[in-house]
Structure 1
């Protein structure tokens, strides 16, 4: 009996190893461990949700690892190891024989962007690692951690396939440039990825050499973001690009044990609230877009992740208020439109996905101590929470 108890205690310690060894960027480690206990104790909701997760993760076990080397184009540097993409809202100028230079049509995505696979494959790699790392967390089954580790090695570590730590050629505009700072928003997946890596640190499959190599890659990429022309340009962006730039660099600094740098970045981030959010909660820079409500929601998601990260460094963004300008004000303004209670008064040329509000409403219910947020959302949606929001943001 004592032997079984000791083994059980060792398993608990191992499952929580990531919580002691490093900080998450935006997820709640205590909540994640609580939901694992709910699953292990057989609570129906937890069993059902983890069952969904395992079905998804099992399908990924045979997935072929993808890398920047898989694209059919070579960046101007001459190396496929460099990430490459094209600006999504730029189209050929039909008045020109060669279509150059391309012209901007905000909100209208040019299908040409799909010809360059780096952006899609980067997002896909992050999504697969999320499912696999969480499957490992809930079950302790090394097969999931081993697969996630394989994907990470191919993208970041293997000499023949690894991505160089820069986005020099992201969101290029044909006839105008080979890449620009705006493209850095495409690497926001890498900030979330630090959390899935943190979970994997408890695994035997993900070795110290893997972590050290990945951490070194992130240090190099962070240095590029802070010192390159593209990085400096994106830092100056006043809208959602500036928000997600700050989320990335603060997350990367935290992940690479540069807490003081992360904290100093976040202190500067607070000043963006004065520029981005009005006293009535409007986000004017996002409302000026042709998909005003989609961009307002996206930007607020960036802010919420920043606020969650800031908590790890004992900074409070939830109650930060400049003359009525606050994250809560921005959310309260958006809710009636996003949930269909009031008609859109700003331009929204594309469809608006109300599921994008789910993460915000779940987090707001907790951080603003008001369950009305999520209860109102559930009334409008009328169906269960998205899988990862249920596992990461709600108590099972």
Structure 2
């Protein structure tokens, strides 16, 4: 069964170049057709809200059903039966699914993306109207909206945490808010969006302020592993799209975002990657090493794809990312019983960077072609593997809209 793709940066300028009548390559034409299928399906789905059906004990410790709640996935009741919870890395506690907030948010973000892409390409106002309806219910309506913070994300239950507060790690539970912020500008040209535009901007500005100033947000920003990367994904997309309270969105990077992104790319990122091997030691030490190597790289590619227009300010990290992708390509997933299809989009995105460099005449042409070919061999092998179905279907094809 196809898996849901992890979020990746959608270059809206590339999507805006497309139309149904354009003469495109076959993969892009297929993606355009699949967007219509997905957008038509999205018209029948929703609305989504984290307030639906909540009851004790699965409500945030604040008692407010509008506060996002998720449980720490790898924490289990202690075998000592003493009321405490203990961590078992890589072993997911199935009862985290008793709280639906994260799945509601993820479904909302996915259907919103399909609708916004559908409206951008097909100019069908039904898509835009339903997108606005989903946004209104999830982020605006006082009865159903989510509060703009994650104070109760990845809560460790039991007597370990009598106050029921969330952890810095909980911010990763809401990473798809970056997708929401990314696609909303496709609605700016639709007159109906004006009704909620002020409320949406205010919500994301409050959320961005919380990411920057809250104790939980600052703690997550200070981490080094994949949590730091996914924190930056949210911060980048939210603030670059909506600005901060008392500011208006602009083409310029707000100072806090510029400073934090520079620090991440120039200080945190070099601590994540072994430049001799391309390994990410903090991720490969986990019980599912290949999965976490890919998971962090997905965030790094998101950040660096977004940062391309600002390379003169933020710098270029392609050498480091090329090392990490080459490490993944050489990883023996068969011997480790891991799923190679998880890495396909990362490899394709890095391959595209090398193709563009070759087209611009940058770097050593023969060396670049060797890398491009090795990446393609990995992708081809993944598509021939027993797990190929996981990267099939419409959802796994539409990336051609923004990564041609």
Bucket of the pairwise TM-score, normalised by the shorter protein: 0.7 to 0.9
Q: With a CA cutoff of 8 Å and minimum separation of 6, indicate the structure with the bigger relative contact order.
A: 2
TM-score (ref. length: structure 1): 0.83
The answer to whether the 8 Å contact 2:48/2:108 transfers is: yes
Map 1:111-260 onto structure 2 (within 5 A).
111-175=94-158, 176-177=160-161, 178=164, 179-207=166-194, 209-255=195-241, 256=243, 257=249, 259-260=253-254
The answer to whether the 8 Å contact 1:68/1:83 transfers is: yes
CA deviations over 1:69-97 (Å, ceiling 9, x no partner): 1133321111101101100111111321x
Per-residue deviation at 1:40? 3.7
TM-score (ref. length: structure 2): 0.81
Per-residue deviation at 1:326? 1.1
Given candidates 280, 285, 305, the residue that maps to 2:282 is: 285
CA 1:137/1:289 → structure 2, altered by over 3 Å: closer, same or farther?
A: same
Paired positions, count = 355
Q: Which structure 2 residue ranges, 5 or more long, are not aligned?
A: 1-7, 244-248, 356-367
Given candidates 325, 330, 338, the residue that maps to 1:331 is: 325
Per-residue deviation at 1:67? 0.7
CA 1:131/1:232 → structure 2, altered by over 3 Å: closer, same or farther?
A: same
The answer to whether the 8 Å contact 2:60/2:152 transfers is: yes
Distance 2:233 2:111 in 1: 21
CA deviations over 1:47-69 (Å, ceiling 9, x no partner): 43322222222122121311111
Are residues 1:77 and 2:74 paired? no
The answer to whether the 8 Å contact 1:365/1:373 transfers is: no
Equivalent position of 2:358 in the other structure = none
Worse overlay, 371-380 or 227-236: 371-380
Distance 2:143 2:122 in 1: 32
The answer to whether the 8 Å contact 2:278/2:327 transfers is: yes
The answer to whether the 8 Å contact 1:362/1:373 transfers is: no
Equivalent position of 1:393 in the other structure = 403
CA 1:211/1:88 → structure 2, altered by over 3 Å: closer, same or farther?
A: same
Per-residue deviation at 1:168? 0.7
Q: What secondary structure sits across from 1:145 in the alignment?
A: helix
Q: Which structure 1 residue ranges, 5 or more long, are not aligned?
A: 1-24
